[in-house]
Amino acid sequence: MILRLGILTFLLACTAGRLALAQSSSSGENVFRVSVRLVIVDTQVIEKKTGQPLKSLKQEDFQISEDGVPQQISSFSQDRLPLSVVLLFDLTDSVRPVLKSLAEGALEALQHLKPEDEVAVMTYAASAEVIQDFTRDRALTAAAIEKASKMKSPEAAFFNEGIYQAASKLAKTQNRRVIIWMTDDVPNIPDAETKARYGRSMNDATLHTKQETLTELFQSGTVVCSLLQQSDMSISEASNRSATKVIGQMLHPPGEVYEYAKATGGQVVESSGKKMKEKLAGLIDDLRMRYSLGYKPSEQKPKGKFCAIKVKLAPEAVKSAGKVAVEAKQGYYR
């Protein structure tokens, strides 16, 4: 019997990759498959004193554990894997001036991406809309941002829904997956009454919860970063701690910028509209220089189980780096 060796499947995503090798006879009989799962963890290390990322670390400077069990890092890269980026714009009135400032400098800021990186533009209020699908054409992306900056919506801002739909869009790509979220961090409570009054575009669609959104982010391996701009309107709204609002948020968690960023290993950049172009360019540069750490899980676990990830610097790296914050996703689903 003559056997032929072929690579059947190759998938390397921000959450995990699978390498499947198959051996089969020329008659199509006796097919054997061996799968090796590689978990990829997008990581950034921030120097606490300066707030700047450390960009010269090596593989031996990192340690990873899964559910408390140390893992052996088997792959390491920086600025090698291409990016798939969703620029997600909140359409509430308080955010619109920020979108206008961003649109004016978008083409220049987007030049900080590499030619192989792709960008999609989405907007959201009650639900999300794709303004421009993934493209490597920076002019098309800039035109989409310009269009988004002129849009408005009378609907409520449902954070969970916007992030969920953006993560679902990214799940179909093969690159490192990132949401860059433009918002003022003032969500509406995603309950049935608010949806009925201010979410008409959703029709009969069910609102996704915060937990469902976190699950989608973990499953897709998406990193959430945000350019956050607050106006007088949004600051006033955020300070409203009425009993009705607090109870509503407890019953129907609306999602929160810092929470999504922390869970996925992203970062939140606060900025004024005038500096939005520079902040976006800096955020893109930081995303490009994040570390991609890969490991093969040492334990077999049931499909669908959540596996908690912890990334830290090795003791020797801590001595030389000083006080730092390590940003990485909190886990993934098998």
Which pLDDT band, with edges at 50, 70 and 90, does 10 fall under?
A: very low
Q: The tokens of 2 are what?
A: 């003559």
Residue 107's pLDDT is 77
**CA dist list (Å): 48 to 239, 261, 316, 327, 329:** 28, 17, 18, 12, 19
Q: Are residues 175 and 254 in the same domain?
A: yes
Decide: residue 249, CB within 10 A, 0-12 exposed, 13-18 middle, 19+ buried.
middle
**pLDDT of residue 328 exceeding 80:** yes
Name the average pLDDT for the chain.
82
**Complete DSSP assignment for 227-259:** EE---HHHHHHHT---HHHHHHHHHS----HHH
Which pLDDT band, with edges at 50, 70 and 90, does 105 fall under?
A: confident
CA torsion 241-262-212-334 (nearest 10°) is -160
Expressed as residue numbers, the domain containing 49 is: 3-79+290-333
Give the integer Cα–Cα distance in Å for 198 and 288.
Answer: 38
**Complete DSSP assignment for 153-188:** -SS---HHHHHHHHHHHHTT-SSEEEEEEEE-S-PP
Percent of the chain topping pLDDT 90 = 51
Q: Are residues 169 and 309 in the same domain?
A: no
Q: Are residues 69 and 88 in the same domain?
A: no
Q: Are residues 61 and 118 in the same domain?
A: no
**Domain total of the chain:** 2
Q: Are residues 21 and 68 in the same domain?
A: yes
Q: Are residues 73 and 120 in the same domain?
A: no
Pair type for strands 306-313 and 331-333: antiparallel
**pLDDT of residue 271 exceeding 80:** no
Q: Are residues 137 and 271 in the same domain?
A: yes
* Residues 188-216 pLDDT 10s: 777 787 778 777 787 778 889 999 999 99
Q: Are residues 173 and 230 in the same domain?
A: yes
Q: Are residues 105 and 27 in the same domain?
A: no
Q: Are residues 311 and 198 in the same domain?
A: no
Tell me if 244 sits within 8 A of 37, measured CB to CB.
no
Nearest alpha-carbon partner for 191 in 249, 273, 117, 242: 249
Percent of the chain topping pLDDT 70 = 78
**pLDDT of residue 32 exceeding 50:** no
Which pLDDT band, with edges at 50, 70 and 90, does 4 fall under?
A: very low
Which of 288, 304, 324 lies at the terminal end of a domain, its last residue? 288
Residue 235's pLDDT is 57
Tell me if 308 sits within 8 A of 98, measured CB to CB.
no
Residue 254's pLDDT is 59
Residue 46's pLDDT is 94
More confident residue, 166 or 276: 166
Q: Are residues 154 and 19 in the same domain?
A: no
Mean pLDDT on 41-56: 92
Span of 21-30, 141-150, 187-196 with lowest mean pLDDT: 21-30
Q: Are residues 207 and 264 in the same domain?
A: yes
3-state secondary structure of 21: strand
Distance of CA 109 to the CA centre of its chain: 19
Query: Which of 10-14, 83-87, 142-146, 302-306 is the most confident on average?
Result: 83-87
Span of 39-53, 84-98, 293-307 with lowest mean pLDDT: 84-98
* Residues 222-252 pLDDT 10s: 999 998 876 655 555 556 655 555 555 555 5
* Residues 54-93 pLDDT 10s: 999 999 999 999 999 999 999 999 988 899 999 999 987 7
